[in-house]
Structure 1
């Protein structure tokens, strides 16, 4: 079996409301659908969500690099030759979402060819993932109302709270309101998207010490090297490296330097192959992992759930799998459903991604 063609199709689906956080704001899901075709008729599917304010990729740059560089490099190869594929992709610096989508589409093909789900091929630990929901910037009462609605409608009891605004006392008030509005049984953790300084972060954590927060993610920039180490030494809870740890070398740097003591894994950023390497690094070093979200659509959520459910350590915590709820629509023929606070892995060969052709025709941007 050989790869014969790689499609990079830009599409745009509006959000029901803007998603606001310290490093940016998203009003539309301007993503890229990636399809890899083979000479045996199998087609692998994934999506690449560009995040220019974090990784520098745009929708146009993802399409361009896939069409002009990555597709010519992999056409003619067997999907099984993943090491050769990655060696060729890695000749080009950056472009993590484009590389990740191509990798996941290849795994989709391999699963279809083998008659096994990707979750089974990666490890087969469980058949579902608990879900964590991200609560973005809004007045505290609106943040509480959203979290209460999500808990009531979907059974979700873990919430990631976006912080990083100035004055940071607004974030502290929001976290306190969420704890009071949701009760003690709900898990809360915070993500600053590099919005605070180390001293602001330390103060905020002290002021929230009684709220039972479980994690703090990227409160200040990775380039604040000494300040970040100083903060992590004093943090009462694990400090998660996310956008500062986008590849294995950065994971090693952040953990061994003392700049973090937990890692967020995002399949939209490192695919399945590199995500598994990052996971094994973390297991070997004895640090926790969180299955993160790059504001994925439902296609990306299917991919994240497939990876998270495959491994013990990713399935241990709730994964960030609900951001698609803020999108007004999606491309899947069978939508992702969150039931009892969990997303089930699709029990079919590959990833089980079936596109709705009418929706693709409606939202694609290249026709």
Structure 2
């Protein structure tokens, strides 16, 4: 079970429509497929989604750091040497998506080698999660129509609404329209992607105080230290730290400093190894946890549900598992399906996913 080779393959698949939020816009999934080969002929796979406007990574940068720095550090190691892998990757600053995809591909290869699913290796709590769908910037009627379509087609009843525009009334009107249309039949929460000031966030939350929101996520920048603490102290819903709490150390700082009361775990930026560290810390601190999404494709979403379903804490809430529905195509031989508002863990060893070679040839960008 020794690692013999690491591949980083760029690919691009257009979205059906641009995904818009306070920190940027995405028109195509320009991601990197990561493959880990072993001396037993096993190949583990994962997906790295670069988000330059959030973490500074680009598709080309992910490929370069994997090829020139990370691959030489892990080739020759056993799939069981996960702590060694983690320590070696940690010597390089940043590059969260590149590190995470490599980590998850190793876990996938390990599961395939042992004929055990990744979810079972991680904890095996359940085999599925409820799905939360993200609603991007649009007019109230259009966002209500999209939510209605997601409920009717996929059974989804939890929605995260992207906010952070100015004036704040643009977004509070959308959330109010959703609540008035669906009544108590759906769960709603908001994500500002750091788009508002603390004062604007407080005003927006006051305008939405009667709408029964589950959470508020990253409404204002974390580097507004005093303003953020002031805001969180005024809220009566959990405040999720997302981009501001990537590592366990970040979580500790944000929570003990009074700047957050819940966290988002995204396997696309912390893999399985570091995500599990963050999960255990959150469990010890008594925090709410949601499984977030880095605008992942189907393979990335499969990684998210594999981790989220493995633990009781992360399986409590609906996970952000539906962004792949906005893509025009994908790479898997068997597409993911959201049924009755749930996404199931794939049966079989590892992640239970296989790449369609014809689709990979069509969308890869290095040939």
Q: Please tell me the TM-score bracket, short chain as reference.
A: over 0.9
Unaligned runs of 5+ in 1: none
Q: Name the counterpart of 1:228.
A: 228
Unaligned runs of 5+ in 2: none
Instruction: Output the CA distance in 1 between the equivalents of 2:342 and 2:46.
Output: 21
Instruction: Output the CA distance in 2 between the equivalents of 1:325 and 1:185.
Output: 22
TM norm structure 2: 0.99
In the TM superposition, residue 347 of structure 1 has moved relative to its aligned partner by 1.4
Asked if 1:199 is matched to 2:199, the reply is: yes
- 1:50-81 residue CA offsets vs partner (Å, 9 max, x unmatched): 00000000001000000010001100111110
SS of match in other structure, 1:278: helix
Asked if 1:100 is matched to 2:93, the reply is: no
Q: Name the counterpart of 1:160.
A: 160
Q: Name the counterpart of 1:330.
A: 330
Q: Name the counterpart of 1:274.
A: 274
Instruction: Output the CA distance in 2 between the equivalents of 1:103 and 1:183.
Output: 42
Instruction: Output the CA distance in 2 between the equivalents of 1:184 and 1:251.
Output: 32
In the TM superposition, residue 335 of structure 1 has moved relative to its aligned partner by 0.4
Q: Name the counterpart of 1:212.
A: 212
Asked if 1:351 is matched to 2:358, the reply is: no
SS of match in other structure, 2:35: strand
Instruction: Output the CA distance in 2 between the equivalents of 1:86 and 1:282.
Output: 20
Which residues in structure 2 correspond to 1:63-78 (within 5 Å)? 63-78=63-78
- 1:11-61 residue CA offsets vs partner (Å, 9 max, x unmatched): 000000000000000000000000000000000000000000000000010
SS of match in other structure, 1:209: coil
- 1:107-143 residue CA offsets vs partner (Å, 9 max, x unmatched): 1011111111000110100011100000000111111
Q: Name the counterpart of 2:19.
A: 19
In the TM superposition, residue 236 of structure 1 has moved relative to its aligned partner by 1.4
- 1:219-259 residue CA offsets vs partner (Å, 9 max, x unmatched): 00000000000000001100000000111111111111010
Q: How many residues align?
A: 367
Instruction: Output the CA distance in 1 between the equivalents of 2:207 and 2:63.
Output: 45
Q: Name the counterpart of 1:187.
A: 187
In the TM superposition, residue 106 of structure 1 has moved relative to its aligned partner by 0.6
- Which stretches of structure 1, 4 residues or longer, exceed 4 Å deviation after superposition? none
Which residues in structure 2 correspond to 1:1-367 (within 5 Å)? 1-367=1-367
In the TM superposition, residue 183 of structure 1 has moved relative to its aligned partner by 1.9
Instruction: Output the CA distance in 1 between the equivalents of 2:199 and 2:184.
Output: 28
In the TM superposition, residue 164 of structure 1 has moved relative to its aligned partner by 0.1
RMSD of aligned Cα (Å): 0.5
Instruction: Output the CA distance in 2 between the equivalents of 1:49 and 1:248.
Output: 21
Instruction: Output the CA distance in 2 between the equivalents of 1:247 and 1:31.
Output: 22
TM norm structure 1: 0.99
SS of match in other structure, 1:362: helix
